[in-house]
Structure 1
Amino acid sequence: MLSIGLILVMFLIGFLGSFLSGMLGVGGSIVKYPLLLYVPPLFGMAVYTAQEVSALAMVQVFFATLGGVWAYRKSNLIDKRLVLDMGVSIVIGSLIGGYGSKFTPGEAINLIYGIMAVVAAVMMLKPGRKENGDGQKTGEKFHYNRVIAIGSSFIVGILSGIVGAGGAFILIPIMVSLLGIPLRVTIASSLAIVLLSSIGGMVGKIMAGHVLWFESAILIVGSLLGASFGAKVGQTANRGFLQGTLAVLILLTAVKVWYDILF
């Protein structure tokens, strides 16, 4: 059984991580991974392996994206063909990555996370597009390179499956910059794609035996409450400031991971 202190810490990690991600509209694993890795040991409560942390993060991603897809279910912004193209390949990739994490040293998982965190921070620090700059109208048709879409999502799936991330913070820039997908369609469709990715990744983690079910349950409760509250606050907050703040947080975390690996 977990101590009361550890239960409270896990709940707060779920709440805080999803509160921040809820304000920005991104997945929460990029925040929860370092919190789960460093906060419990900081208070002398528990030490989780990189494999266990990535499994906890992947379970949270599933429920977070499921809620997002449910919110978009009545809109026409989720492009079914795009979700099918990228979703199938990312599921296969995340299954491989999720199960492959069983044979991946913890240092390697942290290294992959560190690289992804740096890339995510750089992308978030870039000036954002204006909301009306995508030119997308509901139901409007668009074209994209299916080879790039399938190949890139497969690679993102493998990496995300290893570290326990949904991959939205990497997928969104790929979809907008490389594939030319309208921004609003990208946001909605990426949720569905990452939901599929998290299914594959979570199954891989379960097969690898890394899922801690009791901790996962506490994390999910905190995540659902935090994401809902964060989304409400994010509607009135300055998005550019929030993105910059999160980018700095992710970059500092990446520096910490790199420092632990090198020194």
Structure 2
Amino acid sequence: MTLSWILMIFLLGIIGSMISGMLGIGGAIIKFPMLLFIPPLFGFTAFTAHEVSGISAVEVMFASLAGVLAYRKSNLLYKPLIVTMGSGVVLGSLVGSFASSLFDESAVNIVYGILAMIAAVMMFIKREEIAQSTTIHFNKILAFSLAVIVGLASGIVGAGGGFILVPIMLVVLRIPTRVTIASSLAITFFASIGGSIGKISTGQVPWLPTIIMIIASLIAAPIGAKLSKKMNSKILRILLAVLIIFTAIKIWYDLLF
């Protein structure tokens, strides 16, 4: 591997992890297409969808943990929500990650494209902003069930599921935006544990690019989390929606044309 290849992977990790820290997602929604499409543009050998999903699964675990640690002194990590959805998403992602070895390249990308489309649509459903000071109530059975479903799908593509958990928490469970961003990082961390176990056990993780991405995430994710505390919550939602839509369009364009 050349120095230019290492620097490219590191830069992709820095950009993706900083954005993921800002938006409360593990970053697979950003890093999956970046790793899939950008290396070939610079003349490097393309990663397969299974390799990208393996890299994402392990790297997201470290990126989300780094983001959580940046929020640890705040009151935005809502433990009842984290425990309920975290347990559901671990169960789903563990099953999904083992099952992913049975899917071909196109199937992995299709699952990813479907997740991105659902998340994009949900981001544009109108909702009233819930005041952060308001006591948080949510349906635990619904939250657990949705987390299992998201975990199954995200386990297949090596994602922590934060990019779809965030709109679910905002729109369906009606959790305040800043609490959602912080708590979703913790839930994504639990999801990535199950996903990583499955991907590693089935030999889908190329370790050198994974380690490079992990180092980048440990540097950039906490910076992104700190920046999010200073940004308007509406701007954060709009930025997330734009990223999800762009990614969904790119994935489906490459699948269909």
Query: Which category describes the TM-score, using the shorter chain as reference length?
Result: 0.7 to 0.9
Give me the whole-angstrom Cα distance separating, in 2, the residues matched to 1:72 and 1:7.
30
1:134-153 equivalent positions in 2, closer than 5 A: 134-136=131-133, 140=135, 142-153=136-147
Q: Which residue of 1 aligns with 2:48?
A: 49
State the match for 2:250 in structure 1: 256
* Matched residue, 2:175: 181
Native 8 Å contact 1:125 1:244 kept in 2: no
Whole-angstrom distance in 2 between the partners of 1:62 and 1:154: 18
Task: Indicate how the Cα distance of structure 1 residues 223 and 37 shifts in structure 2: closer, same or farther if over 3 A, else same.
Answer: same
Letter in structure 1 aligned against 2:149 = I
- Alignment partner for residue 190 of structure 2, among 196, 219, 244? 196
| Match 2:203 to one of 201, 209, 220 | 209
Q: What is the deviation of 1:32?
A: 0.5
Distance in structure 1 (CA, Å) of the matches to 2:201 and 2:40: 26
Question: Does the aligned pair in 2 maintain the 1:91–1:157 contact within 8 Å?
Answer: yes
Equivalent-residue separation in structure 2 for 1:223 and 1:191 (angstroms):
13
Counterpart mapping for 1:75-224 below 5 A = 75-125=74-124, 130=129, 133-136=130-133, 140=135, 142-224=136-218
Deviates more, 1:105-114 or 1:243-252: 243-252
Moved more, 80-89 or 52-61: 80-89
CA contact 1:23–1:231 (8 Å) conserved in 2: yes
Deviation digits for residues 115-159 of structure 1, max 9, x if unmatched? 2222333344567865xx42435xx4x443222111110000011
Tell me the secondary structure at the aligned position of residue 159 of structure 2.
coil
Shift of 1:235: 5.1
Higher mean C-alpha deviation, range 189-198 or range 149-158: 189-198
Unaligned 5+ residue runs, structure 1? none
Query: When the two structures are superposed, what TM-score results if normalisation uses the length of structure 2?
Result: 0.88
CA offset at residue 257 of structure 1?
1.6
Structure 2: how far apart are the matches of 1:6 and 1:178?
Answer: 42
TM-score (normalizing by structure 1): 0.86
- Cα pair distance change 1:196/1:243, threshold 3 Å: same
Residue 257 to residue 188, structure 1, CA distance change in 2 (3 Å):
closer
Indicate conservation of the 8 Å contact 1:134/1:184, yes or no: no
Q: Once the 2 structures are TM-superposed, how far is the Cα of residue 58 of structure 1 from its aligned partner?
A: 1.4
Q: Which shifted more, 251-260 or 236-245?
A: 236-245
Distance in 1 (CA, whole Å) between partners of 2:131 and 2:84 is 22
Assess, with a 3 A threshold, how the Cα gap between structure 1 residues 249 and 193 changes in structure 2: closer, same or farther: closer
Aligned residue for 1:149, secondary structure, equals helix
Provide the alpha-carbon RMSD of the alignment. Answer: 2.5
Residues 55-70 of structure 1: matches in 2 within 5 Å? 55-70=54-69
Segments of structure 2 that go 5 or more residues without pairing to the other structure are: none
After TM superposition, give the deviation of residue 160 of structure 1 in Å.
0.8
Count of aligned positions: 257
Which range moves more in the overlay, 219-228 or 38-47?
Answer: 219-228
Map of 1:225 onto structure 2: 219
Which one has a bigger Cα radius of gyration? Answer: 1
